[in-house]
Structure 1
Amino acid sequence: MSLADLGLDETAELAYRRCLREKTVTVAGLAESLHLDRAETAGIVRELVRLGLVRQADTQTFDALDPAIALENLIAVEIGRLREQVSRLDACRSRIRSLSEDFTATASRASRPEIQHIQGIDHIREKLDELSFFARTEIMGLQPGGPWTPETISAARPLDLRCLRRGVRMRTVVRAEILEDDRTRAYLLDLCAHGAEVRTAEGTDLERLILYDRSVFVAPIDVEDSKSGAVVVAQPGLVASMVSLFERVWRQATPVGAADTAARSGLSTTEKQVLAILCQADKDELGAREMGVSVRTFRKHVADLMLKLGAGNRFQTALLAKERGWI
């Protein structure tokens, strides 16, 4: 956030900074120092007074107020405004849910085929988006594929997080080998942090399957080429069979957790401690004191971690460690 977000344009910010340096100013003096005409300067000063950044001492002079107090007050007002906006958006979300219930309640079941074939990856994604949007209680998935591409994660993230925010339970089973990919592992752990449940299954016998509210499922037409086409099935008997299959795989799968990821990272106890300190202390002296070592030793630990992560600085080291689920 910049001062422009608080109502100050570039010229007004320059005027305010001049007021802070000189403590007490006049419109004439401020206009001269900023090379502005008096009418424009008077308007800027009135705005600074309105925002509570300066106060009028008498008819000619104005005093600058402590920015620690003045800006904090403006920030508090802005935070209040943002909270009101979030409340309004939450109200809109509840309206969407209500309207969606009306839509699904009145839609004729007969108008929706129990088995539908979809061709092409774009149409498949559109259908998955639609089913995710209208899911109310639970989404269950079996994902046998390899590491997820950045494009796949980018497309899935907003849908997954939206469902989790709505309180939809999300359970996913993936192949254990997929956790070897840093990007995929970080994404799955991020989902877990937001409330999703992820488990891993050994072997390659996992079938690709996504179930929505135990009432419809999507599966590939060709298991060798899942992008070519999919079948959407709402036939109760077939859906019940797929739910049973998922639950059987789920019971035998291994939960994914932070401990599992930390073990895979191969970090020593000291390295974990250094990473934790990097997220809290911004100076090497504080970090060294926290660990009870010399500043030189602490800096060596940090340098080793930076090399291990391929990071260019302390901030990037902590960021990459978080992305990989190490901290």
Structure 2
Amino acid sequence: MEPLGLSAKAQSVYRAMLQAPDAGLGELAERIGLDVPSVAAALDELARLALVRPSSEELGELRPISPEVGLSSLLARQEAELQEYQQRVATNRLMMAQIIAEYRETQESRGNPEAEFLEGADAIRNRVLELSHNCRSEVLVFAAGGALTSTPVWASEETDREMLARGVDVRCLCMASMLGNPAAAHHARALVDAGGQVRSIAVLPLSMVVYDGQVAVLPADVDGELNRAQVLRGRGPVAVLSAFFERLWEEAAPLGDHRGRDESGLTGQERAVLTLLLKGHTDEAVARSLGVSVRTGRRITANLMNRLGARSRFQAGALAVESGWITVS
């Protein structure tokens, strides 16, 4: 049931509760072979998903919701979220098409020589290499579909390293499905190892690169194959594309956490989670602060609770302070 957002441990606890509705925390742990903190974390997850409710007879105890009711409601919520996400994607695609059409119309009416169209993958790649060489501060990349190494709007690993060595900030947003491609995964990992940043997201409207917030290379036709591109200039329209990138960047999941661990065995990300839990932040707020998905944030929280032996999210933060893992500012 993981596609429904239910972890394997939570699923085991839920099944055990359906078989023994009156079982307490210790009995559930014994039935499924988990330790008590793991069962407590799973119960927190089930409560968030509205699959358990407080008992009307036993104070402090939880009882399972019927799967016909609970799972159906969970699926309905996910279907509503999916529909909302698809609507956002469609709106984003329409917005991109409008920006491109308006810019093209303006350039044609002015006869501006700055309006540049590129035909063929070779011409696109050559222009990209030139822009990469002249870039001074920041590169923002939308990599939609195909391997990074075969996307004409994107540069080579050697060019990545050269830009990063010059102090250029390189950030790449790619579709999550791309990372299943060995070449794309290798290129993404190489970019991160060289000092760049890569995040993945389920859907991107198009491939695009923005240089220094002033020049963008994107498809001439939003829905077409990337064998004909246009170079977009001007702070106004390029600023809109940059803002669009930043909005999706906040929603995307990092490729990986390569930061070191402290003497307590914590990464910087884990320390941040414990601090947020101590302050009573919700799962959604924790994920938003970290720039990760809610599911990823919950997985990190459950792991920390297990390591601390905490029975609740707030207790995890309190135990972390008591153990010297974090300090209260």
Report the structure, 1 or 2, having the larger helix content: 1
TM-score class, shorter: 0.3 to 0.5
Q: TM-score, normalised by structure 1?
A: 0.42
Q: Which has the larger radius of gyration?
A: 1
